[in-house]
Structure 1
Amino acid sequence: MDALRFDGRVAVVTGAGRNLGRAYALALAAAGAKIVVNDLGVPISDTDGSGERPAENPALEVVREIEALGGEAVANTDSIATAEGGAAIVETAVKAFGRVDIVVNNAGVVRSAPFADLTPDLVRPVLDTQLASIFHVTGPAWRLMAEQGYGRVVNISSGSAWSGVPEFAAYGGAKAGVIGMTRQMATEGAPLGIKVNVVAPYAKTRPGSGFGPIPPSDELNAWMRPEFLTPLIGLLAHEDCPVTGECFAAGAGYVSRVVMTTTQGLFDRGMTPATLLRDWNQVMETDAMAVVGHDGGGTLHKMITPFVEQQQAGNGG
């Protein structure tokens, strides 16, 4: 993060024991922040939550990594899925370091199934950890930030919020809710000195999986490694953060602003269903406007095309 320092700042990073959360925690700590490394230590699953639980909570290892680098960190193993767990996470920061300046809401579970097969047992954990968790953790931190007149919140969404990934209705819906919640929080936080933004990360966290049309490989893992997200997370968490209420897509050395737009549309106070159908092209016409497409192809194309070109040129990862 070069010259952007976090000396004297305290950051809570949820889901920081592995993958993206770990990268965020290590980067913030390297720049001087004191870190609460939160992780429940559950199996990682993209389907039903099954899998082998780690022998040791990975948050403990991240704390050791930070301390070995000369930083300060404490582990927390409370659940983000409940208000009690969220309050305990924030209390850990207050007891250890006396304040909270930054919250990175990264943790959350994934459950997938065809829409017709979704059950409450699959949907509820997603909503509790991907959406309600922002209330659970940021709520008590928000009150402290408001008292000190300063705070930074970085919420983590996903490209599935706008791209429509098959069998991920609960996850994509929750992640779309994160974007809407971020905009509301930013509005309320502005007069309090609290800035809130949201990031949709594109990164490789499963070594044996591909990315979009690209098959798995060590070179792909290197191209999409989690560390490419840390510059954006660091800027948004910093006191010099230039924006609030914004959404960004990022990964593989690429960052873009995600916007929601409206078309020029149709104005006809006497319209009927039949005339609306007749003039439907006016409703849908986008002209030169930047619109987030249903297939999410624009973002994927910008991240992957340089990788493909590099591979074709025989330059490796």
Structure 2
Amino acid sequence: MNAFAYLLLLPSLVLTFIFAYLPMPGIVAAFQDYNIFAGLWNSPWVGLKHFRDVFETPMLREAIYNTLELSVLTILVCFPAPIVLALMINEVKDGLFKRSVQTLSYLPHFLSWIAVVGLAYSFFDVYGPLNDFLTLLSDGERIMFLSKQELFLPILLLLSVWKEVGWGTVVYLAAITAIDPSLYEAARIDGANRWKQHLHITLPGLKMTAILLLIFTLGTLFMSNFELVYGMQNAFINYDVISTVVFSSGIQQGNYSMAAAIGFMQGLVALLLTVGANALSKRTTGISIW
């Protein structure tokens, strides 16, 4: 039985090794003036030069701030959303309607982010359905939603919630089904209404799942969704994050050493945040990944 389970796990392990561990020697480029023709082992060594440049370049400092801003807002908005939706779906008694809501909510997860960007451009376009609906209500002027800098972050958060809330809900619904039903029966006998049952039974039952997912989420605090941010940018929007700077400087301009230095710092920060969040959770709640 275990051998078959490991066999099913093997493709994921192989892919992880190829795409996550095999490229790791490329980190050396962060300490070099990497030349694509000289190769990784013949490029001149410059030490920490590119790491200093990261903090001395105004564009990179602004990108770090934007990445942190977007990540914090994403956690604040997108992390509790699946919990709320799971609680609402759990209250639905009609089986057909419940299954329909679950299916419709997690289907967007299977779309690529580029497909989501395409749908967003069609929906928020000047002659898209949103503007058609608004003009039908008020007969006002059409609004260029995608050209307004102040709407860029709200649109990113809206798309993130729409795409991933249903998939995250699956995890919490599974955790809710693991809660002992006798606890709810005892609470009803004691006169607890639905709100108090959620407050004292359901939410504590979701505590371990939520904390473990939060630890993993905090590890991505200095990461960002490159496909979404880059895809939603246009001539009117100026909002660079670390991943878009890595793409523009590393791929488009050929500054591979700077891109490798930024990637190395992101990975190091993600490791420290994950270990720190895990240690803090273990000390305060007794719940941890390891």
Higher strand content, 1 or 2: 1
TM over 0.5: no
Larger relative contact order, structure 1 or 2 (CA cutoff 8 Å, min sep 6)? 2
The TM tier, using the shorter chain, reads under 0.3
The structure where helix makes up a greater share of residues is 2
Per the normalisation by structure 1, the TM-score is 0.25
Choose 1 or 2 for highest CA Rg: 2
